[in-house]
Amino acid sequence: MLEKHPNRKKDKYNPYTLTITEGHYYLSFKDGRGKQQNIEIDEMLYQTFDRFELEDISHLNRVSRHIEHSELTEETLNDRAFYKAERIEDIVSESIEYEQLHRAVSELPEVQRRRLKLYFFGELTYEQIAKLEGCTKRAVKFSVDIAVEKLKKNFKIF
C-alpha cells in the first residue's frame, strides 16, 4: 500500500515526496540529471520531513491569508512613503465641497457661468473667450472676476 504524506503541491520549492510503502518510509526526488530517485529512510527522518512539510503548509497558508499580495519594489515603497493615503474624512469633505461648488456655479448668471467654465475648466484665455463670444477681453475678464467674487462670497473665502 502506497501512502503519500502530506498532500502538498509539487513545485520547484518542494522537490521531494514522502511515501510509506508496506511499513517502509521513502523519500522521492529528481536528481540533477532529472532522474527519479527513491531512498528508503528511517521513521524518525520521515517524521522530521513530515513535520517540516506541515510547517511549510501552515506558513504558506498564513502568508496567503494575512500578508499583502502586492509587489514591493523600491518604487512602490517610495510611493507609499511620500504619498499617504487620504483619510475618509478628507475624501468626504472634498466631495461635499465639489458638490457645493457645482451648485454655486450653476446659480451664476448664464454668461458668467459660461465664461467661468471656459476660463477655468476649458483653459481658454480671456482673448480666446472674447473672440468666441464676439466681445472685448475686458468684458470677459470683468465677467469672470465678478463670478469668482460671487463664489468666494458663497464659500466665505477671503
Q: What is the DSSP letter of 69?
A: -
pTM of the model: 0.45
- Rounded CA-CA distance 149/152 in Å is 5
Q: Which three cell numbers stand for residue 11?
A: 513545485
Please, which pLDDT band fits residue 13 given cuts at 50, 70 and 90? Answer: low
Q: Where are the alpha helices (DSSP H) in the chain?
A: 43-66, 74-82, 88-106, 110-116, 126-133, 137-155
Identify the CATH number of the domain defined by range 107-155.
1.10.10.10
Q: Closest Cα to residue 141, out of 116, 117, 158?
A: 116
What are the C-alpha distances in Å from 71 to residues 46, 55, 59, 68, 82? 36, 25, 19, 9, 17
What are the boundaries of each domain within the chain?
2-66, 107-155
- Rounded CA-CA distance 20/97 in Å is 70
pLDDT digits (tens, 9 = 90+) for 96-143: 888 888 888 889 999 999 999 999 888 899 999 999 999 999 999 999
- Rounded CA-CA distance 30/79 in Å is 43
